[in-house]
Amino acid sequence: MDSSLVIIIGAVIGGAVVLAGLLAISRTEVKASSPGVSAKDILMDDEEEDEEASLNAALVKLITEGNAGEQRYDFTTAIEKFDDALKLEPSNPTLLYKLGKAHSQKGNLEKARQCLEKASALAPQQPKMQLVLAKVHMGLGDISAAKEATEKALSIDPRNEIALKMKALVYGQDPASTEGVDAIEDLMVSYPQNPQYKKQYLSALKQRRQWTEALEFCQRLINEDPANAVDYMIEQAHVYVEAGDYPNGLAKFQELVNNHSHEVLESRAGLKETYAACLCNQGVALQTQGQREQALTLYREALNVDDQNADIHYNYGKALMDNDDLSGAVEKFETALKLNAKDADSAYELGRIHDRRNNLEEAMGYYQQALDLSPLMGRAAFAIGTLYGVKESYSEAMNWLSKALKLDPGNVDTLYNLAVATERSGEKNKAVQLYRKVLELDARHQDAKNNLASLKKELQRA
């Protein structure tokens, strides 16, 4: 087996199965220092050595020099030597394969394709040639040809580990395809001693949002491998969380906490943070249902587990604010901003609290901070415009409310406040048009009806 084809399943991202360690091939260039390339990648295997034993001395010398060039990542020399060797043996598939591989490492993908297609035609029973050709097709963006070359390799050797990895990579480019996942499953069945394939199969199921299958698979692993049951239980908890099933996720985390020592759990990277996030998410769900006290209890538990999570502080602050504990809410929002200086939502909520306390300048500052952090936050622009209206700075109010309306065109409250500011600025006819637009969006808006009727009478008297 050609060691240049040794690739490792990586992670499932965006629906595509990504294989780490596969020789990087781009459409334009492949750098000699690409990750996964080492000297052993370009040494001959036993089969090639046997072939070369019958070759003449001049040919052997050229191949040896070409191999040495590859070992030094001097692909220019390697290409030159293999090309000269081919002049002596034009139909030698091994030489065509070596030349194609050197071109691919140099980034000459089209030349690599031509050489490898000739090599595979001359030696159709060599899966390694088809697999390198598949990599080149991938680099050229020809997924269909890459699939064809991979399938040819598998038709020669159906259980070939490298070919199955390549199939997972190639078919994984299409999120709708199940064949990439099937290839990982084949790897897992054929090579049960490799735990990486189990992890990747689970990742593929989660990526496809096959939550039931993912949970069943975790349970199977728990039953089959008691020595690593803790890790699989953690994965099971993660599946519940990713599926949005926070009660079951919490129950699984609690089971872990109850049945395993603190030291065991602390050694699992990310477990504490995930458990805290799960507590927080369940708190949000309860808060949405109006169960504030239960939500507050979960937020407190979450912070006891992980007090460095800005989102937990933010959600805790929201619950306290809904409970009219404004001082407590300020503390949580300020902490969230310290932990995450880009937290526009916490800045906005601090503005709301100061607004409620009639600290208009402080409120304005926080609203502006929120808008600086998140320029598309229409509600912050609306709040600033409304405060200018309170301060009777109607021109400024109109500017800010117009900006808010561009960010959120269908917002009736913004349109109404803009109409009020326009009327008070003295632009009566324009205000009439704006009130009418409010009523087009909400025919039952009583304040708009009253203001429009009053304004029409005023204009008729004039």
The model carries a pTM of 0.56
- pLDDT score recorded for residue 25: 28
3-state secondary structure at position 11:
strand
Beta bridge partners of 17: 12
Domains of the chain plus CATH, in order, are 1-7+25-173 (1.25.40.10), 376-462 (1.25.40.10)
Q: Give the model's pLDDT for residue 150.
A: 83
Which positions of the chain have pLDDT values less than 50? 1-54
Reported as half-sphere exposure (CB side, CA atoms, 13 A), residue 295 has a value of: 23
CA neighbor of 354 nearest in space, from 326, 384, 388, 386: 326
The alpha carbon of 134 is separated from its chain's Cα centroid by a whole number of angstroms, namely: 26
d(CA 61, CA 57): 6
Phi, psi for 10 (deg, rounded to 5): -100, -110
Amino acid 174: pLDDT:
66
* pLDDT for res 242: 85
CB atoms within 10 A of CB 27: 10
Residue 340 contacts residue 332 (beta carbons within 8 Å): no
Contact (Cβ atoms closer than 8 angstroms) between residue 187 and residue 199: no
Instruction: Tell me the C-alpha distance between 353 and 321, whole Å.
Output: 8
Nearest CA-CA partner of 74 in 37, 113, 120: 37
291-320 pLDDT per residue, tens: 889 999 999 999 998 999 999 999 999 999
pLDDT tens by residue, 93-139: 989 999 989 998 888 999 989 989 998 899 888 888 888 888 888 88
Query: What's the one-letter identity of residue 459?
Result: L
